Structures are given as structure tokens and as C-alpha cells.
Amino acid sequence: MSAAESRTFDVVRELVLSAHKISTTAEKMDFYDSWASHYEQDCAVFDFRAPIIAARTAAAHFRGDRQAAVVLDVACGTGMVAKMMKKDGFEHFVGVDGSQAMLQRAKESGLYQDLKLVLLGEEPLSVQSGDFDVVLIVGALSVGHIRVEVIRELCRAAKQGVTMTTPATN
């Protein structure tokens, strides 16, 4: 049994809770960089359903051409949201995240046309107004992560009528 397979719910819960205790951005990005290799397995152990809920919610409310729609996946991590959105017919993804290792995992998924290393709230999201048909941020608006003030910037990036969903818990 590998280390990832032997991680229990309690171990993963403590790992997730430890992220909320980190006070500096640099330490937080180091945490996510080190977690990237086990992130999806740990999310499965933790039964983290937010990516599925977000993707299904966005798909249920989107009325445009899914194949042509451009999705901004904020705090994209390893690409779990894009994987779910792909199942619902979406094909064009731009991902942003503050962790280089998470972005590398997202790149390996082959789903993203563009990936950007951005620490939202500390540096601007360099996109034009109305660039995206769908903007999703999943699980990253919790205390100590992306500040809620970033929502204005994400709304600016979205076309009118877009669904934004931000489930932070299961």
C-alpha cells in the first residue's frame, strides 16, 4: 500500500486544517507545492465534492454554447473542476493558481489552453473585461486563502449572466 493509499480521513483533515494556520503567503504556497502530488488522492479520502458541485451548478445554469465557452478556473489546483466541466461538454479552460506545483499537475491534465501563476489579492489578474463565459472558484475563499475582495476582479473578467459558484465545503 502506498503512502497516499494509507492516508486516513483524520490525517487528511489535520493536513487541511494545518493550511488555515499558515500565516504568510510564501509558507502557504510551499504547503500547496508540497501537497500537489497527493492532492487529488487526499480530496478523495476527504470526500471533497465541491469541484463536482461547482461544475454541475455552472453547467446547469449556462445557456450558451459549451464547446465554445471559455472557463476561468480560479485556484485551479490540479484541475479537478476542469475535469468535471469537460464531462459536461466544456472544452476551453484557463487556470490560475498561486502554486507552481499545482499548476504543473493541471498542465499534465492536458485540459487547459492557458495556465497562469497568480497570487490573487496580491497581484492583479491580467485579463480583459468580459473575457470569460464562466468563472469558477472552488474552496479558495476560506479564511487565510483568497480574500473576498477578489470577487470584484473576477466579476469584471466574466461576461454578463455568468454563474459564479464558490462552495468552500462539501
The 10s digit of each residue's pLDDT in 111-163 is: 999 999 998 888 888 888 889 999 998 878 766 677 777 888 888 899 865 55
Q: Which of 1-15, 68-82, 134-148, 155-169 has the lowest mean pLDDT?
A: 155-169
Domain ranges in the chain? 9-45, 50-157
Task: Give the global pTM.
Answer: 0.88
Q: How many residues does the chain have?
A: 170
Specify the long-range contacts of residues 37-42, CB closer than 8 Å, at least 24 apart: 37/101, 37/105, 38/3, 38/4, 38/7, 39/77, 39/78, 39/102, 39/105, 40/78, 40/80, 40/105, 41/4, 41/5, 41/7, 42/4, 42/7, 42/12, 42/15, 42/16
CATH superfamily, with its number, for domain 50-157:
Vaccinia Virus protein VP39 (3.40.50.150)
Please work out, in degrees rounded to the nearest 5, the angle formed at the alpha carbon of residue 139 by the alpha carbons of 137 and 141. 75
Query: Taking all residues of the chain, what is their mean pLDDT, rounded to a whole number?
Result: 87
Cβ-in-10-Å burial (0-12, 13-18, 19+) of 69 comes to buried
For residue 61, pLDDT over 70 is answered with: yes
For residue 8, pLDDT over 60 is answered with: yes
pLDDT of residue 132: 95
